[in-house]
A = this chain, B = another copy of it.
Amino acid sequence: MSFFPSLNLGALGLTADFTQALSLATEFGYGGIDPDLGYLQTHDAAQVAGEVTGAGLAWGVAGLPVNLTADAATYAGQLAGLPALADTLAAAGVTRVGTWLNPSSDEVTYRRNFNRHADRIATVAELLSPAGIRLGLEYVGPKTSWEVGQYPFVHTLAETRELIAASGAGNVGVFLDTYHWYTAGESADDLRGLTNADVVGCDINDAPVGKDRREQIDLSRELPAATGVIDAAGFVAALTDIGYDGPVKVEPFNKAFAAQPVREAVEQARAAMKVVLGR
């Protein structure tokens, strides 16, 4: 098995109900669809799972319903609610959740932030484990993101791997994104140090032209292969080399793209992925 394109309307800046999303994913040849935890909580999870399977699709990655940098009271509440949510995901057959790492803080030093993340990740992973769910951590690469506060935090693959190791959790890996990989100045060989077991999810995007790598701004991106600023071919070749078999999605954070009718946007995103993924 190999990696497959997964549809996530929210990540495209689009809105539609789940039935329509399923229909669009099938029509345009997606291999998977990202789960919506809110939808699963208000519907029969097993039945939804059947619809996805029936459409010949696999699940992508759900968002982690715990904020790793929340204040203690918020964190305590989200943690207490996690086992039930994990059960819902498990009932639907979802096996991957992901979250991103805030690359900057005005409150806590790097080391304190690291310890906080390491233990919270370990705790969350322990709660996800009985449900058979893996957690993917997405580092945020742009300098314009990590320079914001007084204390820059994890914003590279190397640091993310240190964090995963420190958590000691067996069901935690990295969630890759071409955009962060590019803005962090990393190479295809950096990815080849990973195995399929280390990668929980993946995004492919491109970056706008006319900006230096260190000037790129996180929420202003392009569809894959739109500009060629990012070496998507090198990235995908590395994914292939390490045998990654999970979902790949697009998250362009692009207003012009998202202003299109949903159907056209979904089709266009799929076509862009085909250029890069070769399938």
Which residues of chain A have a CB within 8 Å of any CB of chain B?
71-73, 75-77, 79-80, 82-83, 108-112, 114-116, 118-120, 122-124, 126-127, 143, 146-147, 150-152, 156, 158-159, 162, 165-166, 168, 184-185
Contact = CB atoms under 8 A, between A and B. Distances in A.
B72 A127 contact: yes
B109 A158 contact: yes
A115 B109 CA distance: 15
A3 to B, nearest CB: 25
B152 A152 contact: yes
Given A72-B123, A73-B83, A165-B165, 7 more contacts: A72-B127, A76-B83, A76-B123, A77-B80, A116-B119, A151-B156, A151-B159
22 contacts: A72-B79, A72-B122, A72-B123, A73-B83, A76-B80, A76-B83, A79-B79, A80-B80, A109-B158, A109-B159, A109-B168, A110-B110, A111-B111, A111-B114, A112-B122, A115-B115, A115-B119, A115-B166, A146-B152, A150-B184, A152-B152, A165-B165
Interface class of chain A by DSSP: helix
A82 B77 CA distance: 10
A162 B111 contact: yes
A72 B116 CA distance: 15
A76 B127 contact: yes
A159 B111 CA distance: 9
A109 to B, nearest CB: 5
B109 A156 contact: yes
Contact of A159 (B110, B146, B166): B110
A40 to B, nearest CB: 21
A156 to B, nearest CB: 7
